[in-house]
Amino acid sequence: MPFVILSETRLLLPGNTDDEKRTAFHAFMGSNEPMATHKLIIFSIVRINNGHGYKNNTGVFACPVSGLYVLTYTLYPYLNSWTTVELIVNNSVHSKSFVDGSEDYQVNGVTAISLVYMTKGDTAFVRTGTSTNPHLQSVGSIRSGDDMWSTFSGWKISD
């Protein structure tokens, strides 16, 4: 017997009925951006901003409600570009990764996913980082355009 949907409904759990309690954001870069050491990356195009915590003019997520959050970013390098990337939470490095487009016509994007307990007013953002290896300092551009988007997202998963 085939599965039939009789009506479309959405389950709303008690206590989770407003956007502030369902905090989530998703944004992507509107264009390629040149890299530099400790450059804050601004994801200017916002698709979701429940709770209004993400500021697309600064690239900073300011936590509107305390809780456990998933924060994730995906970055793509332009050809012949590379950099260390850092997720900064309250001015401390929370995670670090490396994005590499050093081979011609080969783009190795990176995705990092972190769990972070944040209290109201805490901040998080993505920036280019530093490396102890002088050959791995930031070079080139971060790519975001028609064929791939560099993104920054987060959502609250519990209190």
Query: Which CATH number belongs to the domain containing residue 30 in this structure?
Result: 2.60.120.40
pLDDT band per the 50, 70, 90 thresholds, residue 3: very low
**8 A C-beta contact, residue 61 and residue 154:** yes
| 11 inside domain | no
Mean pLDDT across 51-71:
97
Condensed to tens digits (0 to 9), the pLDDT of residues 13-47 reads 445 455 556 899 999 999 988 888 899 999 999 99
Q: What pLDDT was estimated at residue 36?
A: 86
E strands, 78-122, where?
A: 82-89, 92-100, 110-118
What is the pTM assigned to this prediction? 0.84
Cα distance between residue 85 and residue 76, in whole Å:
11
Which residues have a Cβ under 8 Å from the Cβ of 45 and sit 6 or more positions away? 27, 28, 29, 30, 56
Largest CA distance in the chain: 64
| 29 inside domain | yes
Report the candidate in 34, 59, 42 with the shortest Cα–Cα distance to residue 138.
34
Domain containing residue 77:
24-158
| 13 inside domain | no
* Statement: residue 7 has pLDDT above 50: no
Q: Which DSSP letter does residue 79 get?
A: T
| 7 inside domain | no
Cα distance between residue 131 and residue 112, in whole Å:
17
Q: Which two tokens stand for residue 88?
A: 């900064």
Q: What pLDDT was estimated at residue 18?
A: 57
| 69 inside domain | yes
Mean pLDDT across 2-14:
48
**8 A C-beta contact, residue 24 and residue 154:** yes
Q: What pLDDT was estimated at residue 6?
A: 45
Q: What pLDDT was estimated at residue 121?
A: 98
Q: Which residue has the higher pLDDT, 141 or 6?
A: 141
Q: What pLDDT was estimated at residue 139?
A: 83
Condensed to tens digits (0 to 9), the pLDDT of residues 104-152 reads 667 788 999 999 999 999 999 999 988 777 777 788 889 888 788 999 9
Q: What pLDDT was estimated at residue 4?
A: 47
How many distinct structural domains can be found in the chain?
Answer: 1
Condensed to tens digits (0 to 9), the pLDDT of residues 63-77 reads 999 999 999 999 999
Report the candidate in 129, 99, 138 with the shortest Cα–Cα distance to residue 38.
129
Which residues have a Cβ under 8 Å from the Cβ of 122 and sit 6 or more positions away? 62, 63, 89, 90
| 38 inside domain | yes
